[in-house]
């Protein structure tokens, strides 16, 4: 299956030597945008996420199926001379190489970026690592949870005084993937002017720091070590989850005018008239006492009743939806965020689509996540070294 590609990256050839999450998510996104992506895996087992189950669908874990659509898949032993020569032949025609070799590893030495850049000056190389190529942690192994712990996210996640928690999403890997895509696309744009590719690097650790945003500037300003606030916000109150009569929902008050609307809506004009609470600074200083008053008032109605009331008055609020509710929601349907693609073993395979539209059109999910070595017979003959001639 290889339908005609379309999209802003049509014609861009990508060789994907990455595995796990950060690299494969980046290359899947490039494929969604129309790039021709070939995923290279070891013949024995392939990408480790193929076995990160259950759940399993067909021959692969659903984890793998979530981040590898749109690609062709070939199996090559990267440590063998023949395998290396095959990859070099692929790189000669490619625009982009994505890899997440551990710094200092054998594979990073085999596919050294200086050698590759000299041999293929047009090539854009994206290297994603756990901690970067410099510094005392460069050789440490890293997965998403390691990045969330080492990069500070877990220190900010959870309830005050409680055990540290990781984020529900893999924000270490996904952050690096998204920043890596930005760097890669910027390098391709520069190449369109200069004709030269370059070596683009990022790491899970660096991207965790980049995502600190206001947490960082808060600390730089006052020098106080921040800690977890549950669902609360370090700079805004009220801006968190509250308990209604039948469950939790969130309220997000981003300015003082919304605060006055909220006080009127919940029947607490006395809070709105309090000069201390009239500004966000005052509400921040009185977070705990104010939240007690809000919680008492908000238990008077159900989540649906509050959300309908607040929506009518322009007050930002939302139920806390589980994934089944998110996928069934008519807004998700209206945005065409769930698409299906035909998989050779599974049949119709549902996928979350690419979250950017172009001229009002969302990129279609075109090709199912490939099984291990699915495209060996169609791809490898083009690049495999020819056998040596034999004399007679």
| Residues catalogued as catalytic | 173
Order of strands across the sheet with 239-243?
A: 239-243, 248-252, 317-319
Residues 298 and 249: their CA atoms lie apart, in Å, by 10
Q: Are 54 and 61 in contact (CB under 8 A)?
A: yes
Residues 367 and 69: their CA atoms lie apart, in Å, by 6
User: Distance from CA of residue 17 to its chain's centroid?
Assistant: 18
Helix (H, G, I), strand (E, B) or coil at 300: coil
In sequence order, which ranges of 126-230 are alpha helices (DSSP H)? 144-150, 171-194, 204-210, 214-222
In 3D space, the residue among 107, 31, 44, 125 whose CA is nearest the CA of residue 72 turns out to be: 31
DSSP for 319-369 reads E---HHHHHH-HHHHHTT-EEEEEETTTEEEEEEPPS--BTTBPPP--SPP
Residues 50 and 346: their CA atoms lie apart, in Å, by 15
């Amino acid at each position: 299956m290889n339908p005609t590609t379309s999209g802003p990256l049509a014609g861009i050839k990508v060789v994907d030597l990455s595995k796990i999450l950060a690299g494969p998510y980046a290359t899947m996104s490039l494929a969604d945008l129309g790039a021709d992506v070939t995923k290279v895996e070891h013949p024995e087992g392939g990408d480790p996420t193929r076995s990160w189950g259950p759940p399993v669908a067909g021959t692969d874990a659903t984890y793998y199926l979530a981040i590898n659509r749109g690609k062709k898949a070939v199996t090559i032993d990267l440590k063998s001379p023949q395998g290396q020569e095959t990859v070099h032949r692929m790189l000669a025609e490619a625009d982009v190489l994505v890899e997440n070799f551990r710094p200092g590893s054998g594979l990073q030495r085999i596919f050294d970026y200086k050698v590759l850049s000299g041999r293929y000056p047009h090539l854009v190389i994206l290297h994603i690592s756990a901690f970067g190529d410099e510094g005392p942690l460069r050789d440490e192994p890293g997965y998403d949870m390691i990045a969330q712990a080492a990069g500070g996210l877990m220190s900010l996640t959870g309830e005050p005084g409680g055990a540290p928690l990781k984020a529900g999403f893999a924000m270490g890997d996904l952050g690096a993937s998204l920043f890596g895509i930005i760097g890669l696309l910027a390098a391709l744009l520069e190449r369109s002017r200069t004709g030269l590719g370059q070596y683009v690097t990022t790491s899970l650790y660096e991207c965790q720091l980049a995502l600190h945003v206001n947490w960082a500037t808060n600390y730089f300003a006052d020098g106080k070590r921040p800690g977890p606030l549950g669902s609360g916000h370090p700079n805004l109150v009220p801006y968190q989850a509250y308990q209604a009569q039948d469950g939790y929902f969130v309220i997000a008050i981003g300015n003082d005018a919304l605060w006055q609307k909220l006080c009127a809506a919940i029947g607490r004009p006395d809070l709105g008239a309090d000069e201390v609470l009239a500004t966000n600074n005052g509400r921040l200083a009185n977070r705990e006492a104010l939240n007690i008053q809000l919680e008492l008032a908000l238990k008077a109605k159900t989540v649906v009743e509050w959300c309908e009331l607040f929506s009518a008055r322009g007050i930002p609020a939302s139920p806390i939806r589980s994934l089944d509710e998110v996928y069934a929601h008519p807004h998700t349907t209206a945005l065409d965020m769930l698409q299906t693609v035909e998989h050779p073993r599974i049949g119709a395979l549902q996928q979350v689509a690419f979250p950017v539209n172009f001229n009002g059109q969302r990129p279609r999910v075109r090709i199912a996540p490939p099984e291990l070595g699915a495209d060996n017979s169609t791809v490898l003959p083009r690049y495999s070294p020819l056998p040596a001639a034999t004399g007679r």
